[in-house]
Chains A and B, each alone.
Chain A
């Protein structure tokens, strides 16, 4: 398993964990009425702003742990950390998925708000469009590594 292949697995796990956390937290905030008043968008932003460092820290810790576990399981004394042209090709394929989902999310949010959805709903659609895009990108890369090309 190549270095970037391992990183893709970690990224899938972290993205799923962060998305699950966000969904649960949003439901919890909604139930407690934090999205009812005029501060709804501000409350939403205060949650989302923490997701950036959370994702970065989660990825770093996940990558370290996964590489340690991988080295122990495969008994490789010097696991490879090489990144090559095939990794970059798969990265570009993944980026296409992110752009597609993020673009679709933005357009969907604009349409939803034009049809009288709240700004909060619009922001959520944009956020989840990007989150789905990141997950789709990881799955595209994961599938590419399994296929080999």
Chain B
């Protein structure tokens, strides 16, 4: 198995949710805005707990918010 990369659709989901700000999302899930920025850019992979909390905010299943790809 090659190197895997976790991507996400948070930016689009925020836009669809009345243009929710990164700060609003961060407050809803109890993290810093900088953590949301890092997750959106796929620079940081959240823990399963945080990933579930984020998907709950958008009322979407986890696999609709996060996806895993082969990085190569």
Q: Which residues of A come within 8 Å of B, CB atoms?
A: 1-3, 5, 80, 82, 84-87, 145, 147-149
Q: Mark B38-54, 1 if CB is under 8 A from A, else 0.
A: 10010110110110000
Is A148 in contact with B41, judged by CB distance below 8 angstroms? yes
Q: Which residues of A contact B41 (CB under 8 A)?
A: 148
- The yes or no answer to B33 lying at the interface (CB within 8 A) is yes
Q: Which residues of B contact A5 (CB under 8 A)?
A: 34
Is B32 in contact with A86, judged by CB distance below 8 angstroms? yes
Closest residue to A89 on the B side, CB-wise? B44
Is B32 in contact with A80, judged by CB distance below 8 angstroms? yes
Asked, given contacts A86-B38, A148-B37, A148-B38, whether A2 binds B32 with beta carbons under 8 Å apart, the answer is: yes
B3 CB to nearest A CB, Å: 15
Is A148 in contact with B44, judged by CB distance below 8 angstroms? yes
Residue of B26, B35, B38, B44 ringed by the most chain A CB atoms within 10 A: B35
Q: Which residues of B contact A84 (CB under 8 A)?
A: 30-32, 35, 50
Q: Which residues of A contact B49 (CB under 8 A)?
A: 85
